Structure 1
Amino acid sequence: MKNIFILCLLLWPAMLPAQEIPLNKYGLPVISSVPLYEQQVKANSEMRLVRVNNIAIDVRYATKDNFTKTALYPFAAVWLRQPAYEALLRLQEYLEPIGLGLKIFDGYRPYRVTEKMWEIVPDDRYAANPKTGSGHNRGVAVDLTLIYLKTGKELPMPTPYDDFTEKAHHDYMDLDAEVIENRTLLRTLMEAHGFVALETEWWHYALKDAARFPLMDIGFEELK
């Protein structure tokens, strides 16, 4: 009985705020106010969204150069939950001695943006269904690739970012050996640092325990 009580105390900070999150039209708990987000962070520091500033970024959703042909973010920035960001920093540190680094295309994505994407690409192989939400909405999914630190050039990968074809799948093998090797390297490194691959997008990874982080719909301006 004592052990159960101790376990409840340990879990309480992460559990209590979730009970207060209002449900959206699909019955999903979505944090859409800054005070509620701050309440979560106060209860559990792992809930904090940290702005990426030590890893290269290329946020195409802040421009019209993306599959929606419209700017979805007001400015170029990447946020990730603290555990996800710290894992990527450890990976970046591991890569630096061999002249490689990371480049992030996207991290936290407000839920409203997921709704817009679904209107354009209603295919759950390539876009998250708003009825379930996305790891991006939870702040623990990341779209990224590998780069050469000296030049900033991306390592050859199967497709460009956000290519919605079978060539982007992890099991697509009609590729040059170097490309397959690079894709495998990225996956091996990400999995070794606690992430899980999305089989239909070589660039997309999420923390294994993504579901414990609530969905969020707070805009970049509010986070800034």
Structure 2
Amino acid sequence: MKVSCLIFFLFFSLFAVAQTTPTPKKKLVVVNSYTQYRAAIKSNPNNELVEIKKAIPGISLDIRYATKNNFMQQVMYKQARAFARKPVVESLKKIQKELNKKGYGLKIFDGYRPYAITVEFYKKASDKNFVANPAKGSKHNRGCAVDLTLINLKTGKELEMPTPYDSFSAAAAAKYEKVSPEAKKNRNFLISIMAKYRMNVLENEWWHYDFADWKNYDLMDIPFEKL
């Protein structure tokens, strides 16, 4: 009986220790070596960060973080360029083609974002719900997220949406109901056509779309100037 009690006590003690021992945190891997990045492309061409405007000449750009017209109110990018992983750009190319047939097009606000920029955003953002936590990194850092809207091809003007880009208001949410019928129609149309090509809207930002296979790509901290 005593032996049985002892065995039970030892088992219970080991179980308790196992339950209270903290799981070691997985180290965040961020690729900041251009050589390592080139090697990754050699092993898998899909790892390439493709310049969106070069791949889709008809697409419109408004790279806000290369200006002071952004929530940070300061220039964050040295160059007004937009990049994304090869499969993401292929999806955007198909979306743009389908939109063009209807008289619309895409306007890109942001694509790949170097990790160091995400760190700066998190330090200075007044509302942390609208910026990625550097502890996990952003899908923008993986080259697998794009911020965008729709434009009318004839006028070049943006279609009405619930909020401006990078708004921190509740109306920025993808399913927010209290918006004009026109804004809701345009927003839902954009969400639908993006999803058709495996680009999924972020719940609290109607303009932000994540590539379905983002988990296959590393966080990156290569500046635009090197790409």
Same fold (TM over 0.5): yes
* Alignment of 1:73 onto 2:80: no
In the TM superposition, what whole-angstrom CA distance separates every residue of 1:63-88 from its partner, at most 9, and x where no partner exists? 11111111000010000100000100
Counterparts of 1:38-49 in structure 2, within 5 Å, are 38-49=38-49
* Alignment of 1:56 onto 2:60: yes
Aligned partner of 1:184 in structure 2 is: 188
Shift of 1:98: 1.2
Aligned partner of 1:196 in structure 2 is: 200
Q: In structure 2, do the counterparts of structure 1 residues 126 and 26 end up closer, same or farther at CA, with 3 Å as the change threshold? A: farther
Counterparts of 1:68-147 in structure 2, within 5 Å, are 68-121=72-125, 123-147=127-151
% identical aligned pairs:
46
Unaligned runs of 5+ in 1: 1-24
* Alignment of 1:206 onto 2:206: no
Cα distance in structure 1, aligned partners of 2:40 and 2:131: 27
Q: Which amino acid aligns with 1:32?
A: N
Q: Which amino acid aligns with 1:46?
A: N
Measured on the aligned residues, the alpha-carbon RMSD in Å equals 1.3
Cα distance in structure 2, aligned partners of 1:64 and 1:100: 27
Cα distance in structure 2, aligned partners of 1:145 and 1:222: 27
Q: Which has the larger radius of gyration?
A: 2
Counterparts of 1:16-35 in structure 2, within 5 Å, are 27-35=27-35
Shift of 1:204: 0.2
Cα distance in structure 2, aligned partners of 1:75 and 1:68: 16
Cα distance in structure 2, aligned partners of 1:177 and 1:29: 44
- Segments of 4+ in structure 1 off by > 6 A? none
Q: Which amino acid aligns with 2:172?
A: A
Cα distance in structure 2, aligned partners of 1:95 and 1:210: 24
Shift of 1:123: 4.3
Shift of 1:144: 0.3
Cα distance in structure 1, aligned partners of 2:105 and 2:88: 16
Q: Which amino acid aligns with 1:105?
A: F
Aligned residue among 159, 167, 170 for 1:166: 170
Normalised TM-score (structure 2): 0.85
Kept after mapping to 2: 8 A contact 1:122/1:129: no
Cα distance in structure 2, aligned partners of 1:153 and 1:142: 19
Cα distance in structure 2, aligned partners of 1:123 and 1:179: 24
Cα distance in structure 1, aligned partners of 2:31 and 2:62: 26
Q: Which amino acid aligns with 1:221?
A: E
In the TM superposition, what whole-angstrom CA distance separates every residue of 1:198-217 from its partner, at most 9, and x where no partner exists? 01000000111111110000
Cα distance in structure 2, aligned partners of 1:95 and 1:75: 27
Q: Which amino acid aligns with 1:129?
A: N
Q: Which amino acid aligns with 2:111?
A: G
Tell me the secondary structure at the aligned position of residue 101 of structure 1: strand
Normalised TM-score (structure 1): 0.86
In the TM superposition, what whole-angstrom CA distance separates every residue of 1:146-174 from its partner, at most 9, and x where no partner exists? 00011110000000000011010112111
Shift of 1:95: 1.0
Q: Which amino acid aligns with 1:43?
A: S
